[in-house]
């Protein structure tokens, strides 16, 4: 029975345990690539909605993540299927947290196994680029000026376009 | 066939679930509603919601960055047909990861 490939949860995750579970018993695996996204304590400087001319940023004290239960899991499953068709990978799993998070917290894990490194490097980035623009999650940041919904970034659409997939998420 | 039956045959009603997320959910003050509608497409449903005026008109207006899902799949074509029992969602551009 295949392991669950996608989990959406409020609890933290353990990178080593997730990778161990993904590799478990599969001696074909010669490469594991894992990406962990974490909560920054500042805005991305490119965010037009919250320009801070000092090049710094207003501190983010908390991040709240909302998602669309049901659709989120389906969307990410489809992304993993797409990665499996495109790259010669052996396994993949995605864990994404929702709810209230704080700077330094882990948000997302994408882990991929393959026989050789190039495939898992590429597939990991592919899934992450896909997730950024097509998985139904929304972030709300709390700052000293108040809470606001994070704007989508055109750069994330461009990242997916590199794989030949049009996102159109950040566009009007 | 009497007149009301014929009218209904011409314009069948669908019961759909409409879900709202993030800033759109907050602006509308609700995350979900069920409604019975003659709207045959996503576009017609959006028009119907906009016609309510107020926050709906403001939030769902054409030209606003509104993304849509039909039966939990992202759709970019508003001409997508609505079936009875469909689940439609309106939400802002996504910002996960």
Query: Which value does ipTM take for this structure?
Result: 0.89
Query: CB-based contact (8 Å) between B69 and chain A?
Result: yes
CA distance B5 to chain A (A): 37
Question: What percent of chain A is helix, strand and coil (3-state, nearest 5)?
Answer: 30, 30, 40
Residues of B with Cβ-Cβ distance to A134 under 8 angstroms:
74, 94
3-class secondary structure, A165: coil
The whole-number pLDDT of residue A145 equals 87
- Asked if the Cβ–Cβ distance from B96 to A132 is below 8 Å, we say yes
> What is the value of pTM for the model shown?
0.90
Side-chain-side CA neighbours of B94 within 13 Å: the count stands at: 28
Separation of alpha carbons B72 and B70, rounded Å: 5
Separation of alpha carbons B58 and B43, rounded Å: 16
- As a whole number, mean pLDDT of residues A95-123 equals 98
Tokens at residue A120, please? 């898992």
- Asked if the Cβ–Cβ distance from B96 to A68 is below 8 Å, we say no
CATH of domain A6-46+56-161: 3.90.1170.40
Residues of A with CB under 8 A from a CB of B: 37, 65-68, 70-71, 74-75, 96, 107-108, 128, 131-140, 149-152, 156, 168-172
Q: Confidence band (pLDDT; 50, 70, 90) for A171?
A: confident
Side-chain-side CA neighbours of A161 within 13 Å: the count stands at: 10
The whole-number pLDDT of residue A108 equals 98
- As a whole number, mean pLDDT of residues A133-137 equals 97
Residue of chain B whose Cα is closest to the Cα of A38: B97
Separation of alpha carbons A41 and A45, rounded Å: 12
Residue of chain B whose Cα is closest to the Cα of A95: B97
Separation of alpha carbons A157 and A96, rounded Å: 20
The whole-number pLDDT of residue B58 equals 97
Residue that wins the pLDDT comparison between A144 and A57: A144
The whole-number pLDDT of residue B1 equals 44
Residue of chain A whose Cα is closest to the Cα of B97: A132
The whole-number pLDDT of residue A56 equals 55
Q: Yes or no: say if A37 and A126 are a contact pair by the CB < 8 Å rule.
A: no
Q: Confidence band (pLDDT; 50, 70, 90) for A2?
A: low
DSSP H helices in A7-150: 15-23, 71-86, 117-134
Fold of B29-97: Ubiquitin-like (UB roll) (3.10.20)
Say how many CB pairs under 8 Å bridge A and B. 83
- As a whole number, mean pLDDT of residues B43-53 equals 98
């Amino acid at each position: 029975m295949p392991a669950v490939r996608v989990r959406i949860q409020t609890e933290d995750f353990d990178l080593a345990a997730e990778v161990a579970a993904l590799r478990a018993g599969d001696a074909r695996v010669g490469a594991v690539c894992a990406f962990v996204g974490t909560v920054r304590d500042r805005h991305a400087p490119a965010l037009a909605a919250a320009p801070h001319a000092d090049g710094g940023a207003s501190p983010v004290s908390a991040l709240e993540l909302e998602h669309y239960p049901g659709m989120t899991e389906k969307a990410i499953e489809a992304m993993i299927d797409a990665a499996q068709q495109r790259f010669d990978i052996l396994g993949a799993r995605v864990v994404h947290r929702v709810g209230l998070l704080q700077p330094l917290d882990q948000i997302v894990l994408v882990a991929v196994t393959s026989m050789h490194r190039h495939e898992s490097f590429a597939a990991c980035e592919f899934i992450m680029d896909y997730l950024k623009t097509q998985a139904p999650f929304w972030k709300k940041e709390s700052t000293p000026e108040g809470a606001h919904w994070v704007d989508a970034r055109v750069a994330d659409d461009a990242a997916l376009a590199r794989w030949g997939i049009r996102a159109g998420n950040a566009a009007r | 066939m009497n007149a009301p039956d014929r009218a209904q045959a011409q314009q069948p009603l669908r019961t759909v679930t409409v879900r709202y997320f993030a800033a759109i959910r907050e602006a509308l003050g609700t995350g979900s509603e069920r409604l019975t509608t003659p709207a045959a497409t996503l576009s017609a449903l959006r028009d119907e919601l906009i016609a309510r005026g107020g926050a709906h008109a403001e939030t769902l207006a054409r030209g606003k960055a509104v993304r849509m899902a039909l039966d939990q799949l992202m759709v970019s074509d508003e001409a997508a047909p609505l079936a009875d029992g469909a689940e439609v969602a309106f939400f802002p551009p996504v910002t996960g990861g």
